Structure 1
Amino acid sequence: MEDPLDAPQDDGRPLRRGWTTGACATAATKAAYTALLTGSFPDPVQITLPRGEQPAFALAMEEQGVDYARAGVIKDAGDDPDVTHGALVMSRVRLLPPGTGVVFRAGEGVGTVTLPGLPLPPGEPAINPMPREMMRAAIAEVAAAEGATGDAEVEISIRDGAALALKTWNPRLGIVGGLSVLGTTGVVVPYSCSAWIHSIHRGVDVARAAGYPHIGASVGATSETALKRLYGLPDTAIIDMGDFAGGLLKYLRSHPVPKLTIAGGFAKMSKLAAGALDLHSGRSQVDLAALARLAEERGAGRDVVAGIAAAPTGLAALRLGHEVGLGDAVAERAREAAKTALRGSEVAIEVLAIDREGNIVGRAG
């Protein structure tokens, strides 16, 4: 494909942007539909993205049968650590009778929706609304140029998609059999983590549609285990928010649930307590001076306060402040920060601070 746009520099090195699965599926669809009408595949094939960019994609495969054409594109996610980077995205297109419209099918490696709450109803292939619109527009463009009706069946498949889907949220979201075809702009911005935040939002949607009165949000596997042990929540009621507390809390402003329990390591919760909504180590740090002040407020002696301020890690600070309930103090401040981020949304908040062994060392709400 032609040169992707460069992302803003990170540590002085320009990061390459890439293309979403939806953009790749659109390029493959346009190539296959063109071949079906003209007998030849455009290679490279150029598409128009929602914001007007016009990237061109090289074809990795071409196949033409009696009543179908199929094309494939290798996904290039740029410098983003995308699980689908390098995957072969294929589109098999057949003509349909006039007036049928464009019909989408899930081929091998593309999942099917089974739970309510997602942008698509149960039974539909997991090809999101924007990629569908992009493919319809590409078919309409070719149909207008070739004097065709634009009625077609589009079957999207992704090589090894079922195995790759096990590394994503899809099983928890009730998307079975493979990956989702995603993308709202067609462009992958390196380390924007848009796919993760998208999954957080869809996880909330599924939990709301299921009517759960209580959902959990975990920073990682240890805190998720602690949540399950404490409340017995099903997988579909637990959001793997990772470091993206803000991505979850901002979405809950307009998509509230009755009760939310946030669980994470003590150090991560201390960052939330300080007001950080991105808990990644590269974007927020444990404020040891703030922890020392919290301990002092709870009656810690001068030596303990000084030790916390000079502690090498958050957990070391926790051990020093254990006797004065530093864990509970951090959980309470984190709960206040979460409530502030919700901006009045009617969500009852609880916060659990967890140690590395999975024990609850702080609790509020």
Structure 2
Amino acid sequence: MRGNMEDVRYRDRKFLRPGFTTGTCAAMAGKAAVTALLTGCFPDHVSVVTPAGKTVTAVVENVLLGVREDGGKVFRCAVRKDAGDDPDVTDGLLIYCQAEFYCQADSACGEAEAGQILIRGGAGIGRVTKPGLDQPPGEAAINSVPRAMLRAEAAALLEEAGETRTVLLTVSAPGGEEIAKKTFNPVLGIVGGISILGTSGIVEPMSDEALTDTIFAQLKVLRAAGRRCFAAVPGRLGAVCLRERIGEIPEDEIVVCSNFIGKTVDMAAELGFTGMVLCGHLGKLVKLGCGIMNTHSREGDGRMDTLVSCCLEAGAELSFLKKIFHANTTEEAFSFIREEGLSEEVTEILLKRISHYLGHRAPEGFQTGVLLFSQEGGFLGSSAGTDALARRLLMEAEERRKENVHGRNET
């Protein structure tokens, strides 16, 4: 049975149902487990109010009563993740929380004062290995908002029952280690499982915010590692072309910005970066040449318009401009440009325009370099200053590699 998310969102001419986050799942499972700890009875359903103000109700599944070696009881409950109509790899995953009164012999949590609510990660929950994320290195990847939700639900129940003993909550997600391989966690330096996430507690279907949050998280990790310049690509093809042109860059140091090129510049500048090397396909980056900074088709097109104006500036005849305007794809249009002998000049004009609009978006002192390729023509060209930025990028990557090697040798 799914959660009770009845609201819908209208997007791309479809009604889409929202869901709830892994953080909300953990909070509901935690509330159910603490209820059982205090009453001895497992609830059938559990409800929480999310930070967004929405009440979410779910079925409590896979309940288990266990006994520790010291005779203390542990109560475990699960809530199934419901991502709504969002294509989330964690959809349907059971998020567990185990509740027990804290035993000082549990060295994993160290010393605890009376009345505390301790939270730790169990099987399938990732562990942070790099600075710059919501939790410090060494901690379970349970973000601050889900932790606050867990504590709030548990604290309310403990206060109502007049219970002052310390409670230990262990969040787990069996199968999370495999699922995490399909997420950005390996790139972010979160190993061994999924993250327990959420700020609003609600999953908005096909949410742009979820994607930009991931980009921001990766940028934070790079910045915390001392990076001032970074590489960005709209997709994996861009990463392949980038490595072919400037050299080997570790996968976790290439930011996949998808359609959010302008937003990526904004976030990078906010974090203190001073340079970006962008590598992408002609069909995506040509939109930047007319100032479209979100390259999703619903945000605007302008591909052929931009190529036509670049060809016009290069001196093309009217009949040729019409041919370009009516081309089916940018690949086809550029094959015509190549046949006309205008590819180098048009590429140079286009790169100047892309640089102009990126420079207009970025604050003063933030440099951008652009590498442009097509599937048929391969590498087309790069904007002025890209080579210098690429050298800086490789130098920073090498410095980081040496620091990592030095750190391993010391340990």
TM-score by length of 2: 0.83
Count of residues in Structure 1 that have an aligned counterpart in Structure 2: 364
Aligned equivalent of 1:34: 35
Q: Counterparts of 1:357 and 1:33 in 2: how far apart (Å)?
A: 60
The question of 1:101 aligning with 2:102 is answered no
Question: How many angstroms does 1:11 deviate by?
Answer: 4.6
Alignment of 1:1-365 (within 5 A): 1-66=2-67, 67-96=73-102, 98-99=113-114, 101-149=116-164, 151-229=166-244, 230-322=246-338, 323-324=341-342, 325-342=345-362, 344=363, 346-356=365-375, 359-365=378-384
Q: What is the deviation of 1:364?
A: 1.2
Tell me which amino acid in the other structure corresponds to 2:374. Answer: D
Any idea what the Cα deviations from partners look like across 1:275-321, whole Å, max 9, x if unmatched?
Answer: 22322234432431221011111222333322211111111222223
Conserved 8 A contact 1:328-1:361: no
Counterpart residue identity of residue 201, structure 2: G
Greater CA deviation, 146-155 or 172-181? 146-155
Contact 1:318–1:327 (CA<8 Å) still a contact in 2?
Answer: no
Q: What is the one-letter code of the residue matched to 2:60?
A: L
Deviation string 1:20-69 (CA, Å, 9 cap, x unpaired) is 11001110011011111111122210112112222111112111112211
Judging changes above 3 Å, is the alpha-carbon distance between structure 1 residues 347 and 151 closer, same or farther for their aligned structure 2 residues? farther
**Distance verdict in 2 for CA 1:175–1:11, change over 3 Å:** closer
Q: CA deviation at 1:126?
A: 0.4
Between structure 1 and structure 2, the one with the greater Rg is 2
* Deviation of 1:257 (Å): 1.4
Q: Distance in 1 between matches of 2:12 and 2:232?
A: 31
TM-score, scaled to structure 1:
0.93
Residue aligning to 2:391? none
Are the structure 2 counterparts of residues 231 and 5 from structure 1 closer, same or farther at C-alpha, using a change threshold of 3 Å? farther
Which residue identity is paired with 1:37?
A: L
Per-residue deviation at 1:357? 5.9
Structure 2, gaps ≥5 residues long:
68-72, 103-111, 385-411
Distance 1:159 1:246, change over 3 A: farther
Q: Check 1:73–1:304 CA distance in 2 against 1; reply closer, same or farther (3 A cut).
A: same
Distance in structure 1 (CA, Å) of the matches to 2:148 and 2:220: 22
Distance 1:69 1:257, change over 3 A: same
Residues 183, 358 of structure 1: CA spacing in aligned structure 2 closer, same or farther, 3 A cutoff? farther
Cα contact 1:271–1:287 (8 A) shared by 2: yes
Query: Does the C-alpha gap of structure 1 residues 307 and 238 become closer, same or farther in structure 2, counting only changes over 3 Å?
Result: same
Matched-pair contact (CA < 8 Å) for 1:104–1:125: no
Identity, % of aligned pairs?
34
Q: CA deviation at 1:109?
A: 1.2
SS of the equivalent of 1:30 reads: helix
SS in 2 for 1:239: strand
Alignment deviations for residues 82-135 of structure 1 (CA, whole Å, 9 cap, x no partner): 111111111112222643622222211110000111121100000111111111
Letter aligned with residue 255 of structure 1 = L
- Assess if the C-alpha contact under 8 Å between 1:8 and 1:15 holds in 2: yes
Alpha-carbon distance in structure 2 between the residues aligned to 1:150 and 1:216? 50
CA distance in 2, matches of 1:295, 1:200: 34
Measured against aligned partners, the alpha-carbon deviations of 1:178-223 in whole angstroms (never above 9, x if no partner) come to 1111100000111114332211001101111111243111111111
Deviation at 1:331, TM superposition (A): 2.7
Unpaired runs of 5+ residues, structure 1, are none
